[in-house]
């Protein structure tokens, strides 16, 4: 099992798929890494040698933001939006959708479980 950027890659998967277990590496970046380093993307990740793993690690460090650096960068961007109190920052602060989605319905992923608000029941006027 290869370990890159603090992530254990599954050895039973192809290299191009296993690299996507690293945060910040998608299908395009994984394919680009394999192409640039001359690694067969369809060989199993368990067949990667130590030399290939070190080449992948150095290329990721040099050219891409991944794992902790990428997470930190994203958090800094969100903190900046909050600090300048722009619309997107206030949406982040309130845990609401940021990119213009509707919230009257269908925002459950962002808003969380429904919080039922006690309202008026249909109380009829009782005239005697």
Q: What is the pLDDT of residues 79-106, one digit of tens each?
A: 999 999 999 999 999 999 999 999 999 9
Judge whether 3-66 and 68-111 match in fold. Answer: no
More confident residue, 110 or 119: 110
DSSP code of 47? Answer: G
Query: How confident is the model at residue 125, as a pLDDT?
Result: 63
- Token pair of 30 as six digits: 């994984």
* pTM across the whole model: 0.76
Which CATH code is given to the segment(s) 3-66?
A: 1.10.8.50
* Domain boundaries defined on the chain: 3-66, 68-111
Cα distance between residue 16 and residue 12, in whole Å: 12
Query: How confident is the model at residue 123, as a pLDDT?
Result: 62
Q: For residue 11, what are the contacts with CB-CB under 8 A and spacing of at least 6? A: 1, 2, 18, 44, 45, 46
Q: What is the pLDDT of residues 29-63, one digit of tens each?
A: 999 999 999 999 999 999 988 999 999 999 999 99
- Cite the DSSP H helix spans in the chain: 15-18, 27-37, 50-63, 67-83, 87-93, 108-111
Domain 68-111 homologous superfamily, CATH: Ribosomal protein S13/S18, C-terminal domain (4.10.910.10)
């Amino acid at each position: 099992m290869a370990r890159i950027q603090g992530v254990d890659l599954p050895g039973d998967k192809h290299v191009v798929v296993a690299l996507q277990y690293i945060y910040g590496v998608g299908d395009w970046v994984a394919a680009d890494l394999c192409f640039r380093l001359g690694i067969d993307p369809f060989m199993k990740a368990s067949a990667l040698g130590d030399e290939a793993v070190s080449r992948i690690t150095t290329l990721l460090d040099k050219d891409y933001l991944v794992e902790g650096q990428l997470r930190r960068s994203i958090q800094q961007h969100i903190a900046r939006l909050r600090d300048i109190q722009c619309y997107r920052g206030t949406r982040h602060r309130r845990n609401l959708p940021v990119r213009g989605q509707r919230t009257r319905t269908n925002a459950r992923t962002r808003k969380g479980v429904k919080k039922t608000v006690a309202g008026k029941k249909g109380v009829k006027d009782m005239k005697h």
